[in-house]
Chains A and B, each alone.
Chain A
Amino acid sequence: VTRATAGKDLRVLWTSPIPYVVAALFHAVVAVLYVSQLEDRRQALMQPFFPIAGFMLVVLVPVLAMRTLAEEARAGTLDLLLAVPVATRPLVAGKWLATWATSLAVLAPAALFAPILRWFGHPDSGPIVTGFAGLVLLTAALTGIGVLASSLTASQPVAAMVALFVSLALWFAHRGTASAGVAGVLARFSTSDRLRSFAGGAVHTADVGFFVAVAAGALVLAAAAVDSRRLR
């Protein structure tokens, strides 16, 4: 069920203009901002790329994920699906997998910056590898949030807005409050803080776990939301 759902959703996504527009926008904006960073720093560093790309993913992944379940609910095909004995979790996992794969395909051309940097300098390859690994994990978590938001409503714009709000809240969580104790707790939920470690060249098992946990938690809740629809 997971594979069939993922295959079908991939076809639907890539025959719509959304991933192309999102990818073109992503690369144009990221390239302009990153090259200006390189110009300022005059160092063969990939590190400034990752927070820029991370923030763009925060904004754009909800757009990719908004239609996953919301569109099916609006068109009535979700109810049709739920009427037959199809397990909910593989269905939700398939939708998440298709959107995640699409997000990664959108991100993939950014790897071009690594050979460009090697051409003009001698960058440290460690932070490049860990930085991209961080983006892959961030995308997994953001896609999870997007699928969850999409499972809660039949309106794609509402799903995108809810996912964007949650993703932005997590991105800026470390800036939430002036109180040191609360800030310390909130910082643990900050996706940008977690991504910064990857961008610097370090892999913390807790950071890997965090992104996986957000994605898994969101999918569990999304499956529950779809299940509740079946029960109605």
Chain B
Amino acid sequence: VRPRRFLLVALAVAAIAFLQVVLERNDRTYDLTAEHTLSLTSETTAVVRQVHHPVRVTAFLRPEEAGRPEEAALLDRYHRLNRRITYRVIDPDAAPGETRRLDIDPVFGGMALEQGTRVERAPTVTEQDVTAGLARLLRRHVPTLCAATGHGEAAIDATVNDGLSTAAALLRENGFRLRAIDLLVEPAVPDGCDGLLLVRPTAPLGPAQQAVGAYLAGGGRAVVLTDPVSSVDLNPLLAPYGVGIDRGIVFESAPDAHLRGDPTSLVVRQYQGGTPVARGLPPTVFPGAQGVTSAEHLERGIAVAAFAQSSSASYLSRRAERAEFDPNNDVRGPITVAAAVDRSATVAGKAQRTRLVVTGDADFAANGSIGDAGNSRLVIQASEWVTLQEDLVTVDANLPTVRPLALTDARRRYVLFLTVGVVPGLILLAGVMVWAVRRGR
């Protein structure tokens, strides 16, 4: 009898284990949070469904890092959505060989996504970075951004405070190829450029203006970062696209809309226009900006999204030395400091799409400020949008709502009295009463 019973018990336990394995393999998740914070966005889902070849994600996180379980859970959601995506979380200190092979900084950690021999890297394990990394793996073409030089523009290899070396490194990390083009020597935008970076020219563009104008008219795309310190008039270049530069400097009065003690360093927290350039963007800091205007009547096929504005308590001062509003010369806020232009046209039977991102400040992208708040993300998203890689910039994680708790000292004492005093006290009292009743019998 015993062996038969033993066999039956073993079979029952094996059946339970088998059922659990089946459940693990066919796991379904029900996200009951109000903001669906435990679900991937529809944009991510669309990208993940395009993965048809195995992708391995390696996250380098130390065991003591606070967000490690959440980041592992995020990667698990990708795996559950598409089993071709596998992941592992490893300690960079415990796997120096892997950190070297995947070119990850062992101090800061990060993440590598591998598909065959291709590797994409990202600094953080967030939905934005994972999805952007996947999208970069999926695309075949590596976009080239051409940085204009020759007219005093900020240089992509300059490591000084107002240089662009950090932005350039960031863009390379995000899968862009960067190339400097001297428009003074050769006033033409080469064919291989998927986008043009025109950052704070300080000398008149001369023949280069015509070259850039022709490039844009032919469906070119550009990120144009102007700055109050430059007196170069870019309005003739921008006017055909319904935008312009309103010279001056924006002074901000709203206390939460500028850096403390510096009313010209704007902090933009909310974005308008619904453009992918600003979607999911954290606050950005513009240290000294002029205005970006948009035409009242736009030509057919042109859409302008004025996505970053100062507050209604700000004004555009025409004279920077005067830090008070002059009703005769100055312009009351809100002042637009960044806009995105999308123009679709059909030329000789061929569709052309021109895209421009224009800002009234260039310092936000310079070495001195790109590390502030969401500035680096704005640089990446603007570059991705102008080069028509929308899937990379529309990802916006479902973030939880902040739910403040009004817990004053008096309320805390009341809660503790109720939960530490009254509830256990009542339970013990019930026990004593039961004991007394039993004793009475």
Interface size on A, residues (CB 8 A): 61
**Which residues of chain B are near A83, meaning CB under 8 Å?**
none
Across the interface, do B23 and A205 meet the contact criterion of CB distance under 8 Å?
yes
Whether B27 lies near A20 (C-beta < 8 A) is no
Q: Are A27 and B427 CB-contacts (below 8 A) given A45-B403, A200-B38?
A: yes
Task: Tell me the complex Cα distance, A213–B16, Å.
Answer: 6
Report B-chain residues with C-beta under 8 Å of the C-beta of A35: 412, 415-416, 419-420
Question: What is the distance, in angstroms, from B392's C-beta to the closest C-beta of chain A?
Answer: 27
Question: Interface stretch among A72-80, A91-99, A118-126, A163-171?
Answer: A118-126
Assuming A124-B403, A126-B34, A206-B24, is B431 touching A17 (CB within 8 A)?
Answer: yes
In the complex, whether A90 has a CB less than 8 A from a CB of chain B is no
Instruction: Write out, one digit per residue, whether chain B residues 1-43 have a CB within 8 A of any chain A CB (1) or not (0).
Output: 1100110010011001101100110111111111101100000
Q: B17 and A213: CB pair below 8 A?
A: yes
- Chain B CB within 8 A of A221 CB: yes
Q: How far is the CA of A43 from the CA of B400 in the complex (A)?
A: 12
Q: Which residues of A contact B424 (CB under 8 A)?
A: 23-25, 27-28
Which residues 99-156 in A have Cβ within 8 Å of B in the complex? 109, 112-113, 116-117, 120-127, 129-130
Interface size class of B (residues with CB under 8 A): 35 or more
Binding site secondary structure of chain A: helix
Please report the C-alpha to C-alpha distance between residue A196 and residue B69 in the assembled complex, in whole angstroms. 9
B142 at the interface (CB under 8 A from A): no
Give the complex CA separation of A76 and B189 in angstroms: 95
Closest Cβ of chain B to A212, distance in Å, is 9
Closest to B70 in A: A200
B2:A231 contact, CB within 8 angstroms: yes
**Closest Cβ–Cβ distance, residue A42 to chain B (whole Å):** 5
Interface pair B404/A42, CB less than 8 Å apart:
yes
A sample of 15 cross-chain residue pairs with beta-carbon separation below 8 angstroms, ordered by A number, consists of A15-B438, A20-B431, A31-B420, A35-B412, A38-B412, A39-B407, A45-B403, A45-B405, A112-B418, A120-B411, A127-B33, A200-B73, A203-B30, A203-B32, A221-B13
Interface of A toward B, CB cutoff 8 Å: 14-15, 17, 19-21, 23-25, 27-28, 31-32, 35, 38-39, 41-45, 109, 112-113, 116-117, 120-127, 129-130, 178, 180, 184, 188, 193, 196-197, 200-206, 209-210, 213, 216-217, 220-221, 224, 227-228, 231
Shortest Cβ-Cβ A-B pairs, 5 listed: A20-B431, A126-B32, A31-B419, A201-B33, A24-B424
